[in-house]
Amino acid sequence: MADQTTHRFGIENDFIDSTLSSTILTGGVITDSTGSIDISAITALIRMTDSATGILTKITVDAQYGLTPALVDTKYYIILKYNNGSPTISLETDHANRTTEIGIGFCLLSDGTVHYSNSGMRLQNGLSKLHRRAYTLRNIEIGSGCTIGETGTRNFTVATGVIYEGINRIELSSFSSLVGKFTYIYKAADWVYVDDQTTIDNIQFNDYGVGLDDLDSNNYGCHWIYIHPDDGHVYVVYGIGTYTAADALIAQPPANLPSIISDFAVLIGDIIIKKSAATFYEIQMVTDVLFSGSGAADHNNLSTLQGGQVGEYYHLTSAEHTVATQAATDALNGYATSTQITKLDGIAENADVTGDNVPQAHKDSHDPENGSDPLDTAIPEEIAEVQEGDAGSSHSLARSDHTHKIDHGISDNHIVTIDSTSNIIVGDFSQFTSDGLRGRSAPQVMEDLSGVAAEEFSFNDQNITNVGDISLDSISSDSGTSINVVLGSDAGDDFTVDTDKLVVEGDTGNVGIRTTTPGTTLAVNGGQACKKTNVDDANYGTSALTTDYIVAWTALTAARTATISTEDEDSGTATLPRVMVFKDQTGSAASYNITISLESGGNIDGATTYVLNKPYQFVTLEIDGTNAYVIGGN
């Protein structure tokens, strides 16, 4: 080892000793030397005593050659020691004390090869290194606060918070779109900026590279909130999809954002809103892992929590809570106390309460004439004649004050009377009513039968003509026959189901679903459902024709293939092609590609295969019986 010199470093020694650390200044680079290691000459700043504020001195050490670990498969620390002014370099199994000892790196001997790391205490220009590391790894990030909240109608707030740019700390002021303004950004051919905005759009999304387009019915849009930490400018970037609620919760912000966002702004979170809704569906903060959802910072921002099958939780207003928790009085509403509730005590379960048993039969206490005319049960007597029914005049309910008369009725063992007010004539049909028998003409009988038939009724293959409205539960045909509805050829000669649920135009032949004016062969005003097949970490393919439309991978741990069967190909034609969608739902396609091909060997857009190799990528294919063509994807 060459001579070493030690001396105090620089001026203002107390300041240096208390703020700086032992460190390599130059050299000390570890290199391989075939089963051992070499270390280049070192200049270092090291403490003379094992103390956090010990005197720092500058030393130099010559290059070292052929240092070999004593044991194989054992980690050794390469340490520069002050050694009372005679510096040494050695291999140790314990790390350096970082005062009188400086770690140069570490090494391990395995199968005749030395593996090493130059990870020692190279702290010169430390603050610059720290700032560069923080900015490289984290760029601009939220330290605390900056919570997004909902206010007004589709307005939002951002709470005060702390943001770091590298190691620079910036305190962010609060923001409200009711007071300030923000700029909307979306991607058409170029990036478009719409200034002076105050509310979140509940109608549109960014068809990326094209412009704004309307969200699908019952779908959700995402809106990504960005802030410039220094100048406080707020930007909202449109999401690039029309999402279901589940897909919106896992959506990611657009990539390749303009410099005004990527270089100057920090992402705070995103706002999810349903089409045409007046309130936000969800607010997600960037501080939540994988945008998995965040708790609201303000209880008043919670929504869709009123009631439920499990627990039945309800929110109360302050006034409702007061009523629910205070005892009722003559002047106050509230809950009834035990002293305010009268109950019957001393009655056994299934007790006989008739006769003189407790409680007493209560009829005598309810007799008319203040109890002087007891309500006794009349003894049944024979009715010798039919008398006209009439209202009684006595206030008493005693049997002696009433004459029993026949009343109209058709109950069991009742004498039936004729209801002469119905103008009965010869040839009428009879009908039982609550007033007895009445006559009904043939048209009246048909009217009476309407809507009350309990059994099947056959017309014995006779035609029904000149029919107005018909109300049916179902229509079926005899075996081997069909049901043919013949329409006129003039405008308005249409077949409709419940006005607009199904419309077939007689003059054009166009069919409409939920529209009365179909402008094409088939016009659908509403959403559609399609078959989805989930593939769990496997290859997809079948030799038979399937009804699959969407094929989605829900798990990926290896590269996978999707083979479209010859049957599926043959089911499409040049004029009526078959359509299938393939989707990476895991976000892992970049690591585990999904390769799509045709079983017959046909091409996809001129190539033999199509590969999904981006996270959450999908492709929509049109299959014409020979080849396939890409008609959608991301």
Phi first, then psi, for residue 278 (nearest 5°) are -95, -15
- Which pLDDT tens digit goes with each residue over 538-579? 999 987 778 889 999 999 999 999 999 988 888 888 778 999
Query: Which SS3 state, helix, strand or coil, does residue 176 take?
Result: strand
pLDDT at 303: 42
Q: What's the predicted TM-score (pTM) here?
A: 0.38
pLDDT at 542: 83
Domain boundaries, the chain: 13-124, 138-294, 495-524, 532-633
Cα separation, 41 vs 62, whole angstroms: 4
Cα separation, 15 vs 19, whole angstroms: 6
Strands (E), 220-309: 220-227, 234-238, 266-274, 282-285
pLDDT at 5: 46
Determine if residue 350 is left, alpha or beta; phi over 0 gives left, psi from -120 to 50 gives alpha, anything else beta: left
Instruction: List the chain residues with pLDDT less than 50.
Output: 1-11, 289-305, 361-362, 364-366, 378, 384-385
* Residue from 211, 56, 29 nearest 116 by CA: 29
* Residue from 405, 435, 406 nearest 422 by CA: 435
Cα separation, 296 vs 27, whole angstroms: 54
Q: Which CATH architecture has domain 532-633?
A: Sandwich (2.60)
Length of the chain in terms of residues written: 634
Instruction: Kindly state the tokens that stand for 198.
Output: 């105050």
List the beta bridge partners of residue 273. 221
Instruction: Kindly state the tokens that stand for 465.
Output: 């003509």
> For the purposes of burial, counting CB atoms within 10 Å of the CB of 211, is it exposed (0-12), middle (13-18) or buried (19 or more)?
middle
> For the purposes of burial, counting CB atoms within 10 Å of the CB of 170, is it exposed (0-12), middle (13-18) or buried (19 or more)?
middle
* Residue from 187, 167, 289 nearest 238 by CA: 187
pLDDT at 374: 52
Do 622 and 571 contact (CB within 8 A), yes or no? no
